[in-house]
Structure 1
Amino acid sequence: MQWNSKVLAFATLGAAATLVLAGCSGGSSSGGAAGGSDGGYKIAFVQGVAGDEFYISMQCGIEAEAEKEGATVTTQGPEKFDPTLQKPIVDAVVGSKPDALLIAPTDVSAMQAPIAAAEAAGIKVVLVDTTLEDPSGAVSQISSDNEGGGAAAFKAIQDANPNGGKVLVVSTDPGVSTTDARAEGFENAVAEDSKFESVGVQYSHNEPSTAAEIVTAALQKDPDIVGIFAANLFAAEGSATGVQQAGKQGQVTIVGFDAGPAQVKALEAGTVQALVAQEPATIG
């Protein structure tokens, strides 16, 4: 297994993401409000999941810009990345009648109607990170190039394993626009290199323990798997555990997505070999 400067570049991006988070230690907690004085422009930010480093960093970016404009930001998020938990939050936000709703939809179809209700109430909607099957009602949407990120993840595995081999994708749930796009970008890139074979996409439902079970079972079935693309931080955490449980550490390249402090720590420890970093504060 070989490493080159391309993989090291991901590590550098990860360190930069850590600095973004560290610079936002004074931000409000989920559920709190921050920004301008009463009577100013009111913004509601509904995260994909509360407490996630990615969304905390995005919250920091939103609050920083809102403060410049004298706007107030209220942030909330479900305990899990789950539309059944996010919908009641959106319903409550619609009732509070903010001027704008910034939201990371937890499902492309299940969140369509709740967000449409916000639009119908005259609330300007901006989709951040994730999207909907029909995003036409939103005034804007902002996200990373997730397909490109998936392709970059394969490039890291490709560079580390020049002789090729089998690869696995561990994602969250089908119907999440970002992780679906990452998996698609990865799978498309794999298909272009005849030395590699995909064993498919499996879903961990944002549970690291489930990701670990998936990886352990996959390595028992296909011991010649050389690379795993973990499409989000929970998948990466569990994939690293699964590789360790299978006794394959150092033999399988794990590439994670996002580069918060926990992910960078895993990179430094060698349990994850590369990270594809986003810029959540810039998205915010």
Structure 2
Amino acid sequence: MRRATGLLALGAAALLLAGCGTGQIGESGGGTDPNNKNLAMITGMRGEPFYVSMECAAKEAAAAQGYQINVQAPEKFEQAEQSQILGGVISSKPGAVIIAPTDDKALAAPLKQAKSNGIKVVEVDTALQDRSIAVSSLSSDNYEGGKLAAQTLVRLLDGKTGSVLALNTKAGTSTTDARAKGFEDEIKKHPGLTLLPTQYTKNEPATAAQIVSSTLAATPDLVGVFGTNLNTGEGAGTALANAGKSGEVQLVGFDASPKQVDDLRNGRVQALIAQDPAQIGQKGVDRAIAAIKGEQVERETKTKMISITKDDMEQKKQFFYKSQC
């Protein structure tokens, strides 16, 4: 899910804080009451630290501008439950809905309905394939994040050769698909490394652990694993630890949840690619309010990311995610 995103200056904190706009301007549209002070946010999964960090920042941004925001999330990263939540949100008629779509196609129909009801749609973290619905999209540069993960893994391997595995969540999740593609394209530049077919975990840590365990048994020269989001990274770390392979097989995870930070500290994972969910949440609220008021907003913004290893984690702790507001 998420989680997103040329990033060669790994230690520059400004990379994470600065957004890179495309220069496109989204339509403000019509039919929305400019005095509507109610916002809705639907994140991708309840309790996931990435989304908790986004939610906390969104609540602060809304309150600072005199707006109410109702935040909801499905129990799992599932399209059906998120669609159900969205149906209730539409009936409550907020001025805007800020959403991390759990499927880049299936959520198009209900979000079209929201738009037709005069509700501005702002995408955060993930996005629909249909670009005609949302007025603005904000996410990490997930393709570049995948490339950064590959560059970090190559640096950690320090010339070691062998097979490398990428773990994705679900096909059709825009963020993790882009991360996997960026990782694949970068790894192909290194002939000493063999990229195995990408495996899908259904966003379940247990499934990720099973895949890594079976890959270890079938691929004795496995030297690296990339988990494209929090759950895949945690599952991979568990499998490697159980097999006594932590540190022998280099693991690069995505996101910086409290559990992943602990895993980095104790050596179960060797690097994390951190996003800036707080910036995405804050800017998502700003874009939503601007759209409600009829102002033009930037159509797409990509935020950059940073690589964190055990050696520099204390210097970069500002990028660790929250488990509660």
Q: Shorter chain as normaliser: what TM range?
A: 0.7 to 0.9
Pairs within 5 Å for 1:42-61: 42-61=38-57
2:87 counterpart residue number: 91
Shift of 1:163: 2.7
Distance in 2 (alpha carbons) for counterparts of 1:72 and 1:234 = 31
- Are 2:141 and 1:145 aligned? yes
2:123 counterpart residue number: 127
Partner of 1:80: helix, strand, or coil?
coil
Distance in 2 (alpha carbons) for counterparts of 1:135 and 1:93 = 21
- The structure 1 residue matched to 2:274, chosen from 243, 265, 277, is 277
More helix by share: 1
2:322 counterpart residue number: none
Shift of 1:54: 0.5
Pairs within 5 Å for 1:181-200: 181-200=178-197
1:219 counterpart residue number: 216
Q: Structure 1 unaligned runs (5+)?
A: 1-5, 18-38
Shift of 1:40: 5.8
The answer (yes or no) to whether the contact 1:158–1:164 under 8 Å persists in 2 is: no
1:3 counterpart residue number: none
Dislocated runs of 4+, deviation >4 Å: none
- Greater relative contact order, per chain length (Cα 8 Å cut-off, separation 6+): 2
1:209 counterpart residue number: 206
The answer (yes or no) to whether the contact 2:247–2:270 under 8 Å persists in 1 is: no
1:26 counterpart residue number: none
Partner of 2:126: helix, strand, or coil?
coil
Shift of 1:247: 2.8
Distance in 1 (alpha carbons) for counterparts of 2:247 and 2:256 = 21
2:74 counterpart residue number: 78
Distance in 2 (alpha carbons) for counterparts of 1:120 and 1:149 = 34
The answer (yes or no) to whether the contact 1:149–1:185 under 8 Å persists in 2 is: yes
Q: Structure 2 counterpart of 1:78, which letter? A: P
Distance in 2 (alpha carbons) for counterparts of 1:154 and 1:120 = 42
TM-score by length of 1: 0.86
The answer (yes or no) to whether the contact 1:40–1:70 under 8 Å persists in 2 is: no
Distance in 1 (alpha carbons) for counterparts of 2:76 and 2:245 = 30
The answer (yes or no) to whether the contact 1:220–1:246 under 8 Å persists in 2 is: no
Shift of 1:249: 2.0
Q: What's the RMSD between the two structures over aligned residues?
A: 2.0
Q: Structure 2 unaligned runs (5+)?
A: 1-6, 18-34, 282-325
Distance in 2 (alpha carbons) for counterparts of 1:163 and 1:258 = 25
Q: Structure 1 counterpart of 2:206, which letter? A: S
Q: Structure 2 counterpart of 1:205, which letter? A: K
